[in-house]
Amino acid sequence: MAETPLIVNLGKEQIIGIFHKPKSDGKHPLIIMVHGFMGNKSGSPSGLFVSLARKLAKSQYCVFRFDFRGSGDSDGDFEGQSIDTELTDLNSVIDFACRNKHVDKNRIALLGHSRGGFLSVIQAAKDPRVKSAVLLAPLVFIKPLWSQSDYTRKLFRGIKKTGSAINYWGFKFTKNLLDTDFRWDNIIEHSKKVKIPVLILHGTHDTSVPVSQARKLYKNLNCKKALKELEATNHIFTQEKDMEKVLDLTRKWFDETI
């Protein structure tokens, strides 16, 4: 099993990712991991994507996990990041992956976490190259998140008043981010156009994106679908038992659908 840093060139900027390849030669199905807001190619502080990628590679899947521009090791500044730029990045990553000699370009799937799930639904609705998807704690409705706590409401007011605001972790939120978030708002209409199999995994103790969002997404999907609610699980699946459950369900889903 090999792990290789790869560079996706997008204009004058670079997207940095890690490509996981099984030990065996030949072409393999590919899973592209799509990280969430303020995230990176590790998937979470606990390394959700790293663990999943290594274990999936042992099951004969190629995996590519990458940083959106403005995140992690990729070029760009976070304040220039938006759903628009992330969708451009994701499409470029799929283009790049289809040219890899180890990848069966007819067997490509997306695994998106949080905002990455939001993006994966939009991409799957329009891209025939995507054959299956797993969504981990997917964001479905954006606007409610800006008003779900005193803190997010304070950030919102700061952006509206001065054009930007800096959060607890030092990320600069701009009016461009707010405007594009509100323009996209939700993925319900996109979900109705998805024709590929979709598995949703969501923790019942998720305080970042409530499980009610996953239930509404599931209701509106018109494809082969499944929703698994993981009891007492948080937004980033930090406990070992949660990680094992996510791996088992994800692997079985992809084994059956790509």
Q: Which residues contact 92 (CB under 8 A, 6 or more apart)?
A: 8, 10, 15
The 10 Å Cβ neighbour count of residue 244 is 13
pLDDT value of position 168:
79
Distance CA(192)–CA(218), nearest Å, equals 10
Q: Both 22 and 111 in a single domain?
A: yes
Interstrand relation of 62-66 and 103-113 (parallel, antiparallel or unpaired): unpaired
- CATH number assigned to the domain comprising residue 28: 3.40.50.1820
| pLDDT at res. 169 | 83
Q: Are residues 159 and 198 both part of a single domain?
A: no
pLDDT of residue 45: 84
Q: How confident is the model at residue 98, as a pLDDT?
A: 94
Do 69 and 116 share a domain, yes or no? Answer: yes
Query: Which residues of the chain carry a pLDDT beneath 50?
Result: none
pTM, two decimal places: 0.97
CA distance 116 to 235: 13
Task: Identify whether residues 238 and 209 lie together within a single domain.
Answer: yes
- Mention every residue, 6+ apart, whose C-beta is less than 8 A from residue 121: 112, 133, 135, 138, 187, 190, 191, 194, 198, 217
What's the pLDDT score for residue 148? Answer: 86
Residues 39 and 162 in one domain: no
Judgement on whether residues 42 and 108 belong to the same structural domain of the protein: yes
Our count of domains for the chain comes to 2
| Per-residue confidence (pLDDT) for residue 102, from 0 to 100 | 97
- Domain housing 217: 2-141+188-257
Q: Are residues 11 and 97 in the same domain?
A: yes
Please say whether the dihedral angle defined by the alpha carbons of residues 62, 101, 17 and 83, taken in this order, is positive or negative: negative
